[in-house]
Amino acid sequence: MNANIHKSLHIIISRSPILAWSLAAVVVALHIISTQAPSQKILWLGGICGAIFLLTVGVPLASWGLRDAWRRWHSEASLFAVPLFIVLLCSLSARLGPPLAVAAATAAAMHVTQRRIYGPFRRLETDEAGAPAHDAEAAGRDDTDASACVGTEEGGAISSEQAARAVGWAGLCCAVLALVLWLLVPALSEFWRSWGGPWAAFRLMDDAPAWTRGVYAALAALSVLSPFAVRTGFRAVMAQACETGRAWGMLFRDASATRTLGGVTLAVFDKTGTLTEGRPSVREVACTRGVTDRGILAWAAAVEAHAAHALARAVIERCQRDGISIEAAEDYEPVPGLGGAARKGEATVLVGRPRLLRERGVDLSEMEDVIAGHQSRGETVVVVAVNGRLVGALAMHDALRRDSVRATKLLRALGVRAALISGDNKATATVLAEQAGIEQVVADVLPGDRAYALDQLRSETIGKTLFVSASPEDRGLLAHADAGAALCPGKECGPPEASVTLTGGALIGVPYAVLLAREALSKAMINAVWIVAYHIVALALAVLGFIHPAVGVGISTLAWAITHWNARRLGRFDPEAFGREILERAARRGFTDGWTGACR
């Protein structure tokens, strides 16, 4: 119980902005009173208040700074708090430079306030391995899904940690430069005294000695640093992108995946279950002389009973609907991507694509016209042969997804080409691609050759390649491509190899994910430009003495607040509205026929 009370008192004393500002106000008031009416009692009272301020605010600040420096966080505490403690120690204990005492006290109070503001956002600071690095204020809170999504920043030109270290070293160099300038360049003091016009109100410590002004300017240069804004400028955007994407059914894997999606210039679609509904049905049965439709279905079902792909399920469902009994064949021999063979009684049954039967020496000339006619309509043809003789063919139709045309239109409007990889023949795949608005088709691809086909498409593309699939068997291809999008019909998470999982299985989520990723990269770029511009201007003004140290801490907090506000703007992102606007703008240019509706 006593330990808990002691811990609570320590937190209240060392981290309370109200206490810090109260003590700072007393220090400032005593300084003002002592300048107006010098008194020994006032000086003693000021020394006592300064010692209390040093113990309750200065020491905790120094401990925070040393801890952050030891952990190489390069936060405001590691760069600013330790020099601030030294200035507090000199100005309050030795009573050297009363203006420094006022500046250090108000800056320390502002820094305590700053840390309280930053506390809830410490979860966005991650270590090199991607694990959240919690601050003491954030201890005991669970990480949100958004922070877990942030992850590492592999693949970038420079990481946030490296940028924060660069800002820290630049600030330290500017602080040393400020001290040297004020000590060794008398013209700077003369320039400061003679500075007039609208900047006269900003002239501080006109009568202070050069070394005091140098320390003052150096402390101001350190106070305007905002490594936290640098560290979280990118991660806050990515965390908000993950949160916004989750609201629209897009689960991004991490920040690196989001960045890759933003650079996609080619989207490669799988066919069955991705571009189509994945529920093929037997539309027509064609048979040779002397064979009935029911007989062909029975032969095909005997072999397909051993398979688990969508075409096999379509044959089984047709037999069940027509009341045809299914007797599974024996000695089943699968041919991946083409079909299979089995033995039923004394007969050898071969069921598969026309390519398989031609390779096995079956003559298809009797039904060449029928097969070509079905393929020209975008239907998949499964041919049945018994003992090496053609007996019939099954024409299967798998409808396109309702939102496939809208998805490809929006991708083209975003400058992303669409391609199709299919195991079907060229004619069938080309018809489906034309119906969906896809420009490039790679057909007759066997399962073992799909990675090679994807590499060929990638070699012809400038930019990143996105592979889209709804099949669990394509996990390897999702990882092989630059980025992968997995369509999941429910709300469950997709495979870890996918860069983004589209819950609900809507294909329109593919361009929405690219659009959101690009918007996130745009916000991250705005943050980067703002952070660079802010530090250049703020450090220059601080070195010249235009910025009070407490004001510097305040504007560094404002710099971080602006980056976070810019990231939070992604929360208003509406992919349907953005997509509609992009397509309408493209339609005015004659690029497409416009937006015909949205599909969630």
Q: Which residue has the higher pLDDT, 116 or 250?
A: 250
Percentage of the chain exceeding pLDDT 90 = 12
One-character DSSP codes across 506-522: -TTHHHHHHHHHHHHHH
pLDDT level of residue 267 (50, 70, 90 thresholds): very high
Are the C-beta atoms of residues 522 and 234 closer than 8 Å to each other?
Answer: no
What was the pLDDT predicted at 527?
Answer: 92
What is the structure's pLDDT at 92?
Answer: 63
Q: What is the pLDDT of residue 187?
A: 62
Tokens representing residue 568 in the block: 């939070």
Which bin fits 482, alpha (ψ -120 to 50), beta or left (φ > 0)?
Answer: alpha
Percent of the chain at pLDDT > 70 equals: 80
Tokens for 132? 């959240």
Question: pLDDT tens digit string along 224-235?
Answer: 888 888 888 888
List the Cα angle 37/39/28 in 5-degree steps.
65
Q: What is the mean pLDDT of residues 523-552?
A: 88
Number of Cβ within a 10 Å radius of residue 506:
22
Residue 221 has, within 13 A of its CA and on its CB side, a CA count of 27
pLDDT band, residue 484 (cuts 50/70/90)? very high
pLDDT of residue 348 exceeding 80, the answer is yes
Q: What is the pLDDT of residues 156-214, one digit of tens each?
A: 456 777 777 788 888 888 888 888 887 777 666 655 555 543 443 344 455 567 777 78
Compute the distance between CA of residue 526 and CA of residue 511 in angstroms, rounded to an integer: 23
Distance CA 222, CA 421 (A): 57
- The answer to whether residue 317 scores a pLDDT higher than 70 is yes
* pLDDT at 299 exceeding the cut of 60: yes
pLDDT of residue 113: 80
User: What confidence tier does 515 reach under pLDDT thresholds 50, 70, 90?
Assistant: very high
Distance in angstroms between the alpha carbons of the first and the last residue of the chain: 55
- pLDDT computed for residue 144 by the predictor: 40
Other Cβ atoms within 10 Å of 4 Cβ, number: 8
Quick one: how many helices (H) and strands (E) in the chain? 24, 13
Tokens 């199709």 belong to which residue?
A: 420
Angstrom distance (rounded) from CA 395 to CA 382 = 7
Residues across the chain: 600
Report whether pLDDT(587) > 90.
no
- The token duo for 159 is 């990481």
Domains annotated on the chain, with CATH: 2-238+524-575 (no CATH), 250-277+407-503 (3.40.50.1000), 281-397 (3.40.1110.10)
Burial (Cβ within 10 Å: 0-12, 13-18, ≥19) of residue 415: exposed
Look at phi and psi of residue 80 and say left if phi exceeds 0, alpha if psi is from -120 to 50, else beta: alpha
d(CA 501, CA 504) in angstroms, rounded, equals 9
CA 103 to CA 220: how far, in whole Å? 9
What pLDDT shows up at residue 196? 42
| Residue 355 pLDDT level (bands cut at 50, 70, 90) | confident
Cα radius of gyration rounded to whole Å, the chain = 35
Where b means 16+ CB within 10 Å and e means fewer, 452-487 reads: ebbeebbeeeeebbbbbbbbeebbebbebbbbbbbb
The span from the CA of 594 to the CA of 588, in Å, is: 8
Q: What is the mean pLDDT of residues 352-377?
A: 87
CA distance 118 to 233: 13
The answer to whether 94 and 117 have CB atoms below 8 angstroms apart is no
| Angle (nearest 5°) at CA 436 between 431 and 440 | 70
**Is 386 a residue whose pLDDT tops 80?**
yes
Give the residue-averaged pLDDT of 251-279. Answer: 89
Residue with the bigger pLDDT between 147 and 502: it is 502
Among the listed ranges 79-93, 253-267, 384-398, 422-436, which one has the minimum average pLDDT value? Answer: 79-93
Is the pLDDT score of 438 beyond 50? yes
Count of Cβ atoms closer than 10 Å to residue 180 Cβ: 12
Question: What's the pLDDT at 191?
Answer: 58
